[in-house]
């Protein structure tokens, strides 16, 4: 039987923070039939991606990240653009991931790091350290121990009856301590923390926790280092609970403001569809031609934000409806019937 238990202790501060957070989650859950509206979800997701990548030294602005996710061409470092596209794809898959599945963890890493490193979707094969400039601040365990350590960590989380707010923060610390990948540990660790919390309460799938981590980035790193020194992750768990509480406080305020315009959530989708109809005009065009006219380069974004909503609304139609994936497929506006 796996008797592994991460080294940490529960503090009075943690208990008080859990009480505050639980009250906040309860209030939010009573609003809008327990769901954050789609417009706010989208804004939070973009803020999450921007902040998580900025922590990893991606220099693209929030506006640039938004444009990339909208499928627009952006002048910037190609690797940084790729990081945004990968992160968006990974977060879009988030609801499909099982937080208890190591295979899903590897899939998330493969999607997040595709085209950015060779060892994507697999545990590291060599040693790795965390540096602050030229100073080594953490030497991760040898690579041969990683698969077993991750297995033990996942099993502990599922076995533990501790409150998800505490054990997810402990998981986050232990994940970063093991440092299972050659690169991408920070962004995957933060994403998995949100996934674990989302399993507890759905609102955590849409919280931009990474934005407050970024604003307290030095504290975040200092608490990781202090937990290493103490051989106890309590200090890190306390910081993460503070960040979660403060993020929820911000979301409560924004949520109240956004509720006043309940139909605003579909405005962005409508804008995309109207833009598509405008460039289509009375012509019959292929997907590639439409993307060129829209100034788009990312096909999945084009399909998700423009093509699919227009098709589902019955505003455009395929020229070969019985073969949706045909290489000769084109699109045209649906002609109004006259009597």
pLDDT of 106 strictly over 70: yes
Q: What is the mean pLDDT of the chain?
A: 87
Residue 137 marked as a ligand binder: yes
Output the pLDDT for position 300.
80
pLDDT of 34 strictly over 60: no
Q: Which residue is catalytic, options 39, 50, 179, 298?
A: 179
pLDDT of 240 strictly over 90: yes
* High-pLDDT (> 90) share of the chain, %: 60
pLDDT of 45 strictly over 50: yes
Output the pLDDT for position 280.
87
Q: Does the annotation mark 193 as catalytic?
A: no
Structure tokens at 253: 């305020």
Residue 187 marked as a ligand binder: yes
The per-residue pLDDT for range 260-283, each reduced to its tens digit, is 444 444 455 577 888 888 888 889
Residue 25 marked as a ligand binder: no
Helix (H) or strand (E) holding 210: helix 209-215
Instruction: Using the structure block, give the residue that is written with the tokens 């590639």.
Output: 288
pLDDT of 59 strictly over 70: yes
Q: Give the mean model confidence (pLDDT) for residues 197-203.
A: 92
Output the pLDDT for position 339.
39
Pick the CATH number of 264-333 from 3.30.70, 1.10.1740, 2.30.30, 1.10.10: 1.10.10
Sign of the C-alpha dihedral, residues 287, 288, 292, 298?
positive
Output the pLDDT for position 268.
53
* High-pLDDT (> 70) share of the chain, %: 88
12-259 topology per CATH:
Fic-like fold (1.10.3290)
Cα separations in angstroms, 332 against 170, 296, 305, 326: 53, 19, 17, 15
CATH 1.10.3290.10 domain position(s) in the chain = 12-259
Residue 320 marked as a ligand binder: no
Least confident of 11-20, 81-90, 226-235, 313-322: 313-322
Output the pLDDT for position 81.
96
Residue 102 marked as a ligand binder: no
Cα separations in angstroms, 57 against 50, 104, 173, 217, 264: 10, 26, 20, 12, 33
Q: Are 209 and 109 in contact (CB under 8 A)?
A: no
Output the pLDDT for position 4.
85
pLDDT of 27 strictly over 50: yes
CA atoms within 13 A on the CB side of 204: 24
pLDDT greater at residue 132 or residue 282:
282
DSSP 212-268: HHHHTHHHHHHHHHHHHHHT--HHHHHHHHHHHHHHHHHHHHHHHHHHTTGGGGGHH
């Amino acid at each position: 039987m796996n008797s592994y238990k991460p080294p940490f202790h529960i503090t009075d501060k943690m208990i008080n923070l859990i009480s505050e957070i639980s009250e906040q989650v309860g209030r939010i859950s009573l609003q809008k039939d327990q769901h954050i509206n789609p417009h706010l979800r989208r804004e939070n997701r973009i803020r999450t991606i921007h902040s998580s990548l900025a922590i990893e030294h991606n220099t693209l602005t929030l506006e640039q990240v938004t444009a990339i996710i909208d499928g627009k061409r952006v002048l910037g470092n190609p690797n940084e653009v790729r990081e945004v596209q990968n992160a968006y794809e990974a977060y879009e898959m988030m609801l499909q991931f099982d937080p208890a599945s190591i295979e899903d963890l590897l899939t998330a890493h493969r999607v997040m790091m595709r085209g950015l490193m060779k060892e994507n979707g697999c545990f590291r094969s060599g040693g790795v350290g965390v540096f602050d400039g030229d100073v080594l601040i953490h030497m991760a365990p040898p690579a041969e121990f990683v698969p077993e350590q991750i297995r033990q960590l996942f099993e502990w989380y599922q076995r533990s009856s501790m409150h998800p707010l505490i054990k997810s923060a402990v998981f986050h610390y232990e994940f970063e301590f093991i440092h299972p990948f050659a690169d991408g540990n920070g962004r995957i660790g933060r994403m998995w923390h949100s996934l674990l919390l989302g399993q507890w309460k759905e609102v955590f799938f849409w919280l931009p926790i990474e934005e407050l981590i970024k604003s307290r980035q030095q504290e975040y790193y200092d608490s990781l280092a202090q937990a290493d020194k103490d051989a106890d992750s309590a200090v890190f768990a306390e910081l993460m609970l503070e960040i979660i509480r403060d993020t929820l406080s911000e979301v409560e305020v924004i949520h109240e403001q956004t509720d006043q315009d309940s139909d605003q959530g579909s405005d962005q989708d409508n804008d995309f569809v109207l833009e598509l109809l405008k460039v289509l005009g009375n012509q019959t065009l292929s997907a590639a031609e439409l993307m060129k006219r829209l100034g788009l380069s990312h096909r999945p974004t084009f399909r998700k934000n423009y093509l699919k909503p227009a098709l589902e609304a019955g505003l455009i139609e395929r020229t070969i409806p019985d073969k949706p994936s045909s290489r000769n497929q084109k699109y045209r506006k649906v002609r109004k019937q006259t009597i």
